[in-house]
Amino acid sequence: MIMPYVLFIMVMVIILFASNIIMSFTTEDGAFTLNNYTRVFQDELVYKSLKNTGVWVLGSVAGQFFMGMLVALLLNQVKKGELLFRSVILILPWATLDIVAGVMWKWMYNDMYGVLNEVLMQIGIIDQYISWLATPDMAMLAVIIANIWKGFCLTGMFLLAGLQTIPQQLYEAAEIDGANAVKRFWHITIPQLKPVLLTTLMLGTIWTINYFPLIYTMTGGGPSHGTETVVTYIYRLSFRFMEYNKSAALSNILFIIILGISMIFLRQISKDGDTA
């Protein structure tokens, strides 16, 4: 019964993907050209957006993994009220609409009436308000923190599911042998979670590269292109500058980059599966 919908989605994906490739190799008059790709590699903003994307992905994925692992380990110990804790900690940030989350964090970062500056002033960490979104470096840090909050819950859910599949007998045997908590985590938890870790890392990296609403709502790629990622620049080229052919070429290049990253992860996951 779901086959018609699956076929419809597949046809739409194939049509849109093919039209994007054709558009990237044609001019506005429909003539074949490689000039669109040449213009991409000659554009300094492309290289800046690639660098920003690297910082954005590295900071976000690392933060989401740290927070997700910490929350998963804590929730794995909860025996009473686990449904309530999981709903509040894991589901609430993930279920919040991207636009709503972006506006919420933008208000929190406001240098005049933002709650973040007020809290930091009250506890004595800062002595004057910080313009979080006014400079490129601070703006990038601000959107990464917001993205960590938005995305750690999904990482935490994956890791929590993986933790619950680890046999407790392994921990009991290690504890009898004298292994402390750190050794049990390093020699039991991490090896047992490795397939989940690699899969979650792959999905988190791909999603973060393609993530658009939060960063665009908060900064629009500014200030001074300080938070301009590849996807925000593709959007700007298409819907601000109407350079559809160039944006199609850049999106195809991004697709190749993501495909390469995915192949590396899948190869490692397959290798670990064969070893196991």
Dist CA 91 CA 160 (whole Å): 13
pLDDT interval class at 274 (50, 70, 90): low
Dist CA 197 CA 187 (whole Å): 15
Q: CA dist 26 to 20, 199, 231, 235, 253, Å?
A: 10, 37, 21, 19, 16
Q: What is the per-residue pLDDT for 276?
A: 56
Q: Is the pLDDT of residue 275 over 70?
A: no
Q: Measured in Å, how far apart are the chain's first and last C-alpha atoms?
A: 37
Give one DSSP letter per residue of 40-108, joined into a string.
HHH-HHHHHHHHHHHHHHHHHHHHHHHHHHHHHHHHHH--SSHHHHHIIIIIHHHHS-HHHHHHHHHHH
pLDDT tens for 95-120 read 889 999 999 999 999 988 889 998 99
Q: What are the residues whose beta carbons fall under 8 Å from the beta carbon of 106, sequence distance 6 or more?
A: 133, 217, 218
Domain locations in the chain? 63-275
241 burial via Cβ count (<10 Å: 0-12, 13-18, 19+): exposed
Specify the pTM: 0.91
Q: What is the per-residue pLDDT for 273?
A: 65
pLDDT tens for 229-260 read 999 999 999 999 999 999 999 999 999 999 99
Give one DSSP letter per residue of 94-131, joined into a string.
HHS-HHHHHHHHHHHT-TTT-HHHHHHHHTTS-SS---
Q: Is the pLDDT of residue 212 over 70?
A: yes
The length of the chain is 276
Q: What is the per-residue pLDDT for 49?
A: 96
pLDDT tens for 54-94 read 999 999 999 999 999 999 998 888 777 677 777 777 788 88
| Among the listed residues 163, 161, 188, 158, the one whose alpha carbon sits nearest the alpha carbon of residue 173 | 188
| Among the listed residues 180, 182, 184, the one whose alpha carbon sits nearest the alpha carbon of residue 169 | 184
Please state which of the ranges 45-49, 64-68, 182-186, 254-258 shows the lowest mean pLDDT: 182-186
Q: What is the per-residue pLDDT for 93?
A: 86
Q: Looking at domain 63-275, which of 3.10.28.10, 1.20.1280.50, 3.40.190.80, 1.10.3720.10 is its CATH number?
A: 1.10.3720.10
Place of tokens 């919908």: 5
What share of the chain in percent tops pLDDT 90? 67
Averaged confidence pLDDT in the chain: 91
Q: Is the pLDDT of residue 205 over 60?
A: yes
**SS3 for 198-236, per residue?**
HHHHHHHHHHHHHCCHHHHHHCCCCCCCCCCCHHHHHHH
Q: Is the pLDDT of residue 8 over 80?
A: yes
